Copies of this chain bind each other. A is one copy, B any other.
Amino acid sequence: MKKIINTPENFIPEMLEGIYAAHPGEVTCAGEDLHCLVNARKHPGKVGIATGGGSGHLPLFLGYVGEGMLDGCSIGDVFQSPSPEQMLAVTKEIDQGAGVLYIYGNYNGDIFNFDMAAEMADMEEDIRVESVVAGEDVASAAPAAEGEPNKRRGVAGIFFVYKCAGAAAAAGKDLDEVKRVAEKACANVRTMGVALTSCTVPRLGHPSFEIGEDEMEIGMGIHGEPGIRRGKLKSADEIVDEMLEPILKDLPFREGDEVAVLVNGLGGTPLEEQYVMFRRIRQTLDARGIKVYHTWVGEFATSMEMAGASISLMRVDTELKEYLAAPADTPFYKQFQL
């Protein structure tokens, strides 16, 4: 295990100390627990938005707490859900009289703990909480049938959900409206990933899975959940084609649609390679008559040092474009008005 850390046990607390020390005035701690991070700036009357999940995915989740995006976040240890008590502490801190929206990824541990926190917030604190669970990884399950729960994992596409809901809340919309925007973003985003190497959870000390020196796995999740096909490493264009086709078919994205594109590095894949991927994505979208509204390339949801990437597309309309275009200012994500 080759990491710049002190001990596995102190990895996340010390990372958090570093974050608070590096961004004073931007983020602060809700109470005594470093794992509960909130925007240092308050906006009375604004809907509060919280997220959370396991550590090891920076800039997800902490990174999007700030102006125009999220108000708070609680995190657990690497790949571990935060507790209901931690979520409740964040919820109490970010409620500004207009209720709180939870937006988080579709993982059982998170659902259980967020639901419990929502219940405690309602019963003990009289704070109204609504939840939107993002699950847009097309490799992780078939689309949910009418009336059935969505079984898909939430991955990097949640960035678009944060961005749109965050902009709606910043624009003064009420909780129902912010929730509607978040759900609309969820409904229109699809993601697929590819992994080239594993990452190592510090407390375990060995790679989460084995993968050959010449192999890749299409559709792998950001904690190493199984993908849909493992095989020899192919060319960038072939990899992109194999990831993009299921995305396009799933929604489906059609000629005349307009999309936001996110190419997300998983941690160990250089930005150079991510742009080689975007070149092919753009060629394919152009050929299909799908217009690109705006493109994001970089690391938005990682698995520490894992090599690989994901592609997310969100179909946009005038409303979603307006929210995507709004400025945002967090320690990890800054955007001027588009």
Contact = CB atoms under 8 A, between A and B. Distances in A.
Interface string A254-277: 000000000000011111111111
Interface in A212-248: 213-214, 233, 235-237, 239
A147 interface: no
A122 interface: no
B297 A22 contact: yes
Interface stretch (A88-96, A134-142, A303-311, A312-320): A303-311
Contact of A277 (B18, B233, B270, B329): B18
B237 A276 contact: no
Interface stretch (A37-45, A53-61, A102-110, A149-157): A53-61
A53 to B, nearest CB: 14
A276 B6 contact: yes
A271 B61 CA distance: 12
A279 B59 CA distance: 17
A4 B269 contact: yes
A74 B273 CA distance: 19
Contacts of A58: 270-272, 275
Contacts of A197: 2
Contacts of A295: 21-23
Contact of A272 (B15, B194, B329): B15
Interface in A175-200: 194, 196-197
A334 interface: yes
Interface residues of A, number: 59
Chain copies in the assembly?
2
Nearest to A2: B196
A74 to B, nearest CB: 16
Nearest to A338: B25
Contacts of A59: 271
Contacts of A18: 274-279, 282, 297
A284 B239 CA distance: 46
A55 to B, nearest CB: 7
A267 B237 CA distance: 22
Given A18-B282, A23-B295, A278-B18, A5 B233 contact: no
Given A14-B276, A18-B277, A236 B282 contact: no
Contact of A21 (B14, B19, B279, B309): B279
Contacts of A56: 270, 272
Contacts of A334: 334-336
Nearest to A214: B2
A322 interface: no
> 6 closest pairs, A vs B, by CB?
A18-B275, A18-B279, A58-B271, A22-B295, A334-B334, A18-B278
